[in-house]
Amino acid sequence: MANRVVMPKLTDTMEEGVLRKWYKKEGEFIESGDPIAEVETDKAIMDLEAFASGVLRKILVVEGTTVPSGKLIAIIAREDEVIDDILAEMSSKTTEKKAGHQEEVAILPQAIETATVVEKGAIWISPLARKMAEEHQIEIANLKGSGPGGRITQKDVEQAIAMRGVMTSARLDRPAGGLHSLPPLGLSMLRKAVVRRMTESKGPVPHFYVVAEIDMEKAIAFKDKMKADGNKLTLTEIFLKATALTLRKFPAYCSSYQGDAVRIAERIDVGFAVGIPDGVITPVITDCDKKSLTALSEEVRDKIHRAAEKKLAPSEYTGAVFSISNLGMYRSVESFSAIITPPESGVLAIGSVIEKPVVRHHAVAIGKTVKMTLSTDHRVADGVLAAQFLLELTEILQNPESLTD
């Protein structure tokens, strides 16, 4: 039987991918597992592997095309197998696209429906569930039905909405003016992902902000000493570890509001934002509270490097409970506030360490301080907790030896 190759959906946030390069040509024989194309997702570039052996009979998408997840991009079949019926049914369902935009060329709009129907049979879903899925932009092909005969019901869609984290209101993440079908030139996949995720956040997530100024004298002395002892270490790792240790004491900040319930994370996985040329990506350090500073340092460097190359796997930049964003290397930034990445509980925006007069032992001295702004999802934590969080963080940074625990 002919096998349909579709644009994969590799992460929850992936809605489309760019087919960057075909490794194989039409007519070439392919083993199951062979990489057949290079695909750019919203945050990474990866290989698309064939899931069936056979001859690559037909390529339906030219290189450089943006393709929605789930759409048919190629057909693998036996050499002598008749695939005209598939092609015919595709073209009969193809509606005329507005000409003139290269990115939409050769896309067959109904392919996903056809593919789904042919491969899995009709999707068995209650009308209410279908309507809800449409309203919340849940891909029903990805849902498992719990009803009789595998029927997708209201409950299943509600769960999918909750799993996705924050409910997006109808079209918040669909920019007006048909941007989705006609992306302006130069808007990369990553940029689009940033646009979508940040809009998803600022719309529904009720942010509030608490600022603290922290004396960094001891923390910097501690870092310098570690470096003098031959360790590679930057303030980023110090902040990550201090944040993770603080999170241990604040379960509310290890939780996320999803649908109608609050879910508490099992592990303290902390993200750190990395600016790369066309956007921002937030690699995640799993079990951040349990890793030593030197291990953190190595992992941070590796992930920054691979983020810049867009070689991070999706699992390496999703799933954080909380993130930090450090703009301290930009000396002019005193403080700023950051937008929470749903479904995380908050984000800590860290400014530059600045030399300024501070009062110590009833006398004015030259101090090194940093301003931190804690953005919190008000549905999981309140102001008092945010203040206590920052106090705990201050305690740790002012007693940096606790970071080596």
Partner 1 sequence: MPVLAYRDALRAAMREEMRRDPNVFLMGEEVGFYNGAFKVSRGMLDEFGQKRVIDTPITEAAFTGIGIGAAMVGLRPIIEMMTFNFAILALDQIINNAVKVRSMSGGQLSVPIVIRGPGGSALRLAAQHSQSLESLFCHIPGLKVIAPSHPRDAKGLLKSAIRDDNPVICFEAQALYGTTGEVPEGEYTLPIGKAQVRREGADVTLIGWSKMQLLCMKTAEQLSEEGIDAEVIDPCTLRPLDMETLVNSVRKTHRVVIVEEAWPYAGVSAEIADRIYYNALGFLDAPIERVTGEDVPIPYAKNLEAAALPSAAKITAAVKKVMYS
Catalytic residues: 378
3-state secondary structure of 30: strand
Binding mask 154-183 for partner 1 (x = CB under 8 A): xx----------------------------
Binding mask 230-269 for partner 1 (x = CB under 8 A): ----------------------------------------
Binding mask 283-322 for partner 1 (x = CB under 8 A): ----------------------------------------
Sign of the alpha-carbon dihedral angle for 251, 257, 261, 265: negative
CB 153 to partner 1: min, Å: 5
Contact between 131 and partner 1 by CB under 8 A: the answer reads yes
Number of residues that bind partner 1 (CB under 8 A): 12
CA 222 to chain CA centroid, Å, is: 33
CB 126 to partner 1: min, Å: 5
Tokens of 346: 């908050």
CB 154 to partner 1: min, Å: 4
CB 148 to partner 1: min, Å: 7
Q: Which stretch binds partner 1 (CB under 8 A): 111-119, 125-133, 220-228, 236-244?
A: 125-133
Binding mask 85-114 for partner 1 (x = CB under 8 A): ------------------------------
Contact between 321 and 285 (Cβ < 8 Å): no
Tokens of 302: 């590796």
CA 248 to chain CA centroid, Å, is: 23
Contact between 127 and partner 1 by CB under 8 A: the answer reads yes
CB environment 307-327: b (16+ within 10 A), e (fewer): beebebebebbbbbbbbbbbb
368: number of Cβ within 10 Å: 17
Contact between 146 and partner 1 by CB under 8 A: the answer reads yes
DSSP, residue by residue, 299-350 = HHHHHHHHHHTT---GGGSS--SEEEEE-TTSTT---------TT-SEEEEE
Instruction: Enumerate binding residues for partner 1 (CB under 8 A).
Output: 126-131, 146-148, 153-155
